[in-house]
Structure 1
Amino acid sequence: MDVAKTAGGNGDTRALRALLAARDFPALLRATDPTTANASAEHWLYRGKALEGLLQPDAAATCYREGLAQGPEDAPLHLALGQLALQQGDRPGALEALERARDLNPDNLDCYAALLHLVPLAPDGPEAARILARALDHRRSDAARARALFLLGQLQVEAGRDRTGFVHYAAGNRLTGDSLEARKREYRLGERLFRLDRRTFAAVARSLPPCKALVVTGLPRSGKSLVESLLAEHPAIAAGGEFAGLRRAIADIPGKELPRRLSEAAASSRSPFIEAYREHPLADAGSRWLVDSSPANLPRIGYFALLHPEAPIVLCRRRARDLGLALFFKKFRSGHGYSYALETAGRAIASAERLIDHWQAVLPNPLLVVDYEELVTDPEGTRARLFALLGLAPPPRPLRSGEAEDWRLFPSKSPGAACAPRPSLLGFADRFEEELAPLVKAYEAAST
């Protein structure tokens, strides 16, 4: 049975949701074709999500507005429009849409999470009371209750109630971590990665066209999004987001077979990495490079370099305490199970640093390591080094609205599109020295 046709023909929400979860955006777009599907509010919502997934934000915004023209009281459409405006750096548009979504559905946690990019919420106000009620409602799933606890943690910390806020975060992390399989709670790197050395790369015969990937990677909250935004100021570079092209390219190859299979691919002038990036929505946008900022690429860079030593790579890292706190304060939608306990987060940071040092020592690629602290205190110097890595002259700086400084920063959140690098989060973890002791101990033990 054709899921797309079924979804489009009878408005089957489950089918549309499945396509969105599978990130099959072309099929989702076909399933919500307005000429064949019932144009309900749900139709416009899923069609807009498909367009967002295909990196067509203007078309997505138009889609949401078309849906709201037919049903102006639909809270999910207002929320989707507000979240999109937030991503695009449109503060007034985001605030208007999100406040409307909140008024229509004051129990939606995603709406509060988005609003916190723009305005504070009182830790003892009515919104906090609603969020607390969700956290205490045992009829809800652990994931939903944990989501509420993470939001309560942010409200308390932003109000200066650090101890209370950390207690909320710890409870949310426990709920989330306890639901994960044991094997998903650690950040594991195979020792075979560290056996890839300079001789390994020198021994591979290559005759391949260049891959347009520009890999920017590291753990989440280490500055990848900021680096991507700086790079995307140049017309030769497209911001591709967390596409995870390296993972996609070799997902079906067993780890022990990777070096042999990739050597065979190089000898036959085939590259699974080139093929993977051809599937990106911006593959044909005319840019010379396509940034892929997925954390999942970090352990796979060595395999990529076997075939593409010409591809530039940027590795991002951050002071362990600040990074650990940012991870612990973040409720990820999927993956990153190591972030839900302080000890596992500390070990993950140490492992990632060890791998970054290894790649810096052995990779044949043009490579730059960017420290978060340097990125936000010297953005112009970092910008110059990034473009020097690519052999490009830095483009003129884009004009920034004065509203850019009004975007609110918090350790768990990526900056908005209009937010310039700012050092306000440096040393934020020092406020939690006692609470972070288990993370620091695990990090130091794993670093020796």
Structure 2
Amino acid sequence: RRWPDAASLHLALGQLALRRGDRHAALAALERARALNPDSLDCYAALLHLVPLAPDGPEAARILARALDHRRDDAARARALFLLGQLQVEAGRDRTGFVYYAAGNRLTADAIEERKREYHVPERLLRMDRKTFAASARSLPPCPALVVTGLPRSGKSLVEGLLAEHPAVTAGGEFAGLRRAVADTRPGDLSARLGAAAAGGHSPFAKAYREHPLAAGLFDEGGAAGSDAGHRWLVDSSPANLPRLGYFGLLHPEVPVVLCRRRAADLGLALYFKKFRSGHGYSYDLAAAGRAIARAERLIAHWQAVLPNPVLVVDYEALVTEPDSMRAKLFAHLGLAPPPAPAAMAGDEPGKQRAEAPADWRLFPSKSPGAGSAPDPSLLGFAGRFADELNPLVAAYEAERH
């Protein structure tokens, strides 16, 4: 009320409503933001969760003008190109859309340091085996983290949403607690630091999660996680946790881990169509993305084989085609009884649940579903529309695997 014409505030309200799953409030706020600032790329990106934009309409013309404006930095121009790609692909103009995506990816990749254009899995991680964990001392208080990890676009948000249906589970988003905990330690010094932490009865990982904005009530007054009788979990779905799981397992073998994976072509396309705010430099080149997927799959298989933690591997394809079965497996993994299914919408048949009708939340490979959305199989095989364009990704993926 104090700033009715502040476009940035209406945009923030719309984005917040999207995260809450309130479609109607989101649309109202975003439409107001667009009216106040019709050049906002962030506003168009948010609106595309809810409504289509015509590929030849005035909005597309404004976005194109941003992409062609060489006075703007490369990141802003690339963002516009990614949006134009989505508009074209959603209109069925796949070849034109891919051209826009390729241009946006090239522009983004050119600004990334060469060493950051690949997904690296250090050999020291693959040398960790069951003996590594059997030899480590563990006498630490429990940690409330529930680690859900994998590459971006692999189904982590869907898993987090299903888990958060239970009152004992809090959706914590991509907090990257494992990375935060060891960010100030050189890789060569990690073993010594973690050994000293175990000997002293404290954990840098638990300390990191105490700093989460939603951690209130998850720790007792002494800083330890609550007792098992009343255990509560805080989900951390950051991809950055995947390569650090071994270090986490040395101190907290009791914490459940969920590893997410997805078929290479669909995952690779989703990565290539995504303009990340930061990181994931491998995603802007098709061959590098293919290698990244193969390397992440190898690391997932390795952690599944050697971690002392309870590990559940979730395939995106099973998640979206058999959501009830996967929901039961996820809660069994935590030792929790599944909560009642979310209330059905008025007029729906019993068993057809969720807060919004599926049509209310628009799906696209580069976007996470809206809060409260049901797993939806409509994106399975989406990469088949771009089989020729994805040849470099598939070839690099197969070469890396073998």
For the criterion TM > 0.5, the same-fold answer is: yes
Is residue 190 of structure 1 aligned with residue 134 of structure 2?
Answer: no
Q: Return 5+ residue gaps in structure 1 as ranges.
A: 1-68
Question: Aligned-pair distance for 1:404?
Answer: 4.2
The reply on whether 1:447 has 2:401 as its aligned counterpart is yes
1:57-106 deviation digits (Å, cap 9, x = unpaired): xxxxxxxxxxxx01211111111111111111111111111111111111
What does residue 106 of structure 1 align with?
Answer: 38
Higher helix residue share: 1
Q: Output aligned runs, 1:250-329, within 5 Å.
A: 250-286=182-218, 288-329=232-273
Shift of 1:240: 0.6
Q: 2:155 aligns with which of 220, 223, 226?
A: 223
Identity %: 77
Q: How far apart are the structure 2 equivalents of 1:280 and 1:87?
A: 18
Check whether the contact 1:404–1:418 (CA below 8 A) recurs between aligned residues: no
Partner of 2:133: 201
Asked if 1:95 corresponds to 2:95, the answer is: no
- Contact 2:146/2:234 (8 A) holds in 1: yes
Partner of 1:437: 391
Aligned residues: 380
In structure 1, how many angstroms separate the alpha carbons of the residues matched to 2:97 and 2:144? 44
The alpha carbon displacement at 1:303 in A equals 0.3
1:21 aligned residue: none
Distance (whole Å) between structure 2 residues aligned to residue 434 and residue 276 of structure 1: 45
Q: CA deviation at 1:253?
A: 1.3
Q: Give, in whole Å, the separation in 1 of the partners of 2:171 and 2:356.
A: 23
Q: Counterparts of 1:276 and 1:199 in 2: how far apart (Å)?
A: 27
Name the TM-score, length of structure 2 as normaliser.
0.93
Q: 2:181 aligns with which of 249, 264, 279?
A: 249
Distance in 1 (CA, whole Å) between partners of 2:266 and 2:372 is 23
Report the Cα distance in structure 1 between the residues aligned to 2:96 and 2:217, rounded to whole angstroms. Answer: 48
Local SS of the residue matching 1:221: coil
1:125 paired to 2:57: yes
Which residue of structure 2 lines up, in the alignment, with residue 177 of structure 1? 109
C-alpha contact 2:78 2:108 (8 A) present in aligned 1: yes
Shift in Å at residue 405 of structure 1? Answer: 3.4
Q: Is contact 2:161–2:372 with CA below 8 Å preserved after alignment? A: no
Higher relative contact order (CA 8 A, sep 6+): 2
1:239–1:402 CA distance, 2 compared to 1 (3 A): closer
- Among 326, 330, 344, the alignment partner of 1:382 is 326
> Is 264-273 or 153-162 further displaced after alignment?
264-273
Whole-angstrom distance in 2 between the partners of 1:243 and 1:386: 20
SS at match of 2:170: strand
SS in 1 for 2:357: helix
**Structure 2 unmatched ranges of 5 or more:** 219-230, 344-353
> Contact 1:405/1:419 (CA < 8 Å) preserved in 2?
no
Name the SS for the 1:70 alignment partner: coil
CA RMSD of aligned residues (A): 0.9
SS state at 2:142 partner: coil
- What one-letter code is carried by the residue in structure 2 that aligns with 1:103? A
1:85 aligns with 2:17: yes
